[in-house]
Structure 1
Amino acid sequence: MSKTVVVYFSGYGHTQRVAQAVAEGAGAQLIAVDGEGNVPDSAWDDLAAADAIIFGAPTYMGSVPWQFKKFADASSKAWFTRAWQDKVFGGFTVSASLNGDKQVTLINLQTLASQHGGIWVSLGLMPSNTLNASRNDVNNLGGSVGLLVQAPSDAGAEAIPDGDIDTAKRYGARVTEVAKRLKG
């Protein structure tokens, strides 16, 4: 049995919906970063006990929002003691645009995982990039480093395309499966 935790910040509910889908696929615990950039004190113990950690954040102005950055900066205590060394990591991001510089956010999350000595898991899915592809296909945005999700800016989280939600579930399952395999 492998323990996976999804830690995320959601400003408008879109990232929360994706976090829930990732957690469903991973069989993971959810930890929300609040509007002040904090997690409950018990969350640090949960993260330390996890075999896999999946980061989630919206892309705001080409990067993670300050609330997630505050959480990342607070993780320096875990960094200093190498508490997350050799854990399996993954990450996802959501923005209103199809591109929206989401790749920059994923690289930010991947760098955070690497600073902690973690092992990053790619999306591992072929892109849906044919003429007949639609937004309801798996990996329609063509991610590889991690999960990319598009949510229309003028709609709630329910408007996230089914293909992105299905991709989120598959990615959560992949991260947990890699953690299980590495745990032995």
Structure 2
Amino acid sequence: MGLLDWLKGKKKQAETPASNETPEPEQQDAPAPDPLKVAVIYYSSTGTNHQLAKWAAESAEAEGAQVKVFRTAETAPDEAVASNPAWQAHLEATKDIQEVTLDDLEWADAIIFSSPTRFGNIPAQMKQFLDTTGGLWFEGKLANKVVSGMSSASNAHGGQEKTLQTIYTTMMHWGAFIVPPGYTDMSLFEAGGNPYGVSVTVDQDGNMIENVEAAVKHQAKRTITVASWVKDGQAQA
């Protein structure tokens, strides 16, 4: 055998891994994290808070969250609803939107509420639902939920801030993490500057006076961001 053949043989031997060498394990992709689960819960008689809820849901979905929109049950007498054509029309138009249940609260990582103001307070339809959460609260299943709220009224000093504080009072008893927008984005100033949560004034024709869409979407995005921090922290605990 010539020198050239011998060198070729040595090269081939070097390129062939020894049979007793342990092959490197194949790298496996880490499983994708579960998407954040967000419930947007609203009550609306003529459509304002329904629209706020839709904007919040759009923003949450854009952030990659799994989003469900729910309405609280309409508890007003039929004759009261029928006396207001806009109320009757909106109730009919949204009849296919699922009514919220306690299971939906338990499912969600983050919850965004939207509620009109009634005499400086939340309406009976929202209060009635919140008053049913005692069982979940007692079991500790509402602790560490991330929550935020929005509101509306027919004039600029109609009680929007008090309505949000009322919602947040319940959330404090839950042991939830409340995420107000504060003044964390310029859109909040354009929307009226309510640091407790986006609030909008509605005229007698049902039109929103302030431009609040961007502020609603910012508040929802901020809520999702904080909820993701909480969820990641719980996973590492």
TM-score tier (shorter): 0.7 to 0.9
What stretches of structure 1 of length at least 5 have no aligned partner? Answer: 129-136
In the alignment, which of 51, 65, 76 is matched to residue 109 of structure 2?
A: 51
* Unaligned 5+ runs, structure 2: 1-34, 62-66, 77-96, 233-237
State the distance in 2 between where 1:100 and 1:42 align. 27
- Aligned to 2:211, the other structure's residue is in SS state helix
Match of 1:116 in 2: 174
Aligned to 1:32: 71
**Which structure carries more relative contact order (alpha carbon 8 Å, separation 6+)?**
1
- C-alpha distance in structure 1 between counterparts of 2:185 and 2:162, whole Å: 19
Instruction: Kindly provide the CA deviation profile for residues 60-102 of structure 1, in whole angstroms up to 9, marking residues without a partner as x.
Output: 1100011111011011121111211111010111111112121
**Aligned AA for 2:208?**
I
Question: Partner letter of residue 228 of structure 2?
Answer: K
Going from structure 1 to structure 2, the CA distance change for 1:151 and 1:41 (only over 3 Å counts) comes to closer
Find the counterpart in structure 2 of residue 64 from structure 1: 122
How far apart are residue 161 of structure 1 and its match?
4.6
RMSD (Å), alpha carbons: 2.1
Counterpart check, 1:73 vs 2:131: yes
Aligned-partner residue type, residue 128 of structure 2: K
Instruction: Say whether residues 1:182 and 2:234 are aligned partners.
Output: no
| Cross-structure match for 2:189 | 139
Q: In the alignment, residue 51 of structure 2 is paired with which amino acid?
A: R
CA gap 1:41/1:61 in 2 versus in 1, 3 angstroms? closer
Whether the 8 Å CA contact 1:26–1:174 is kept in 2: the answer is: no
> Of 156, 168, 177, which residue of structure 1 is paired with 2:216?
168
The one-letter code of the counterpart of 1:68 is M
Cα 1:65–1:2 change in 2 (3 A) is: same
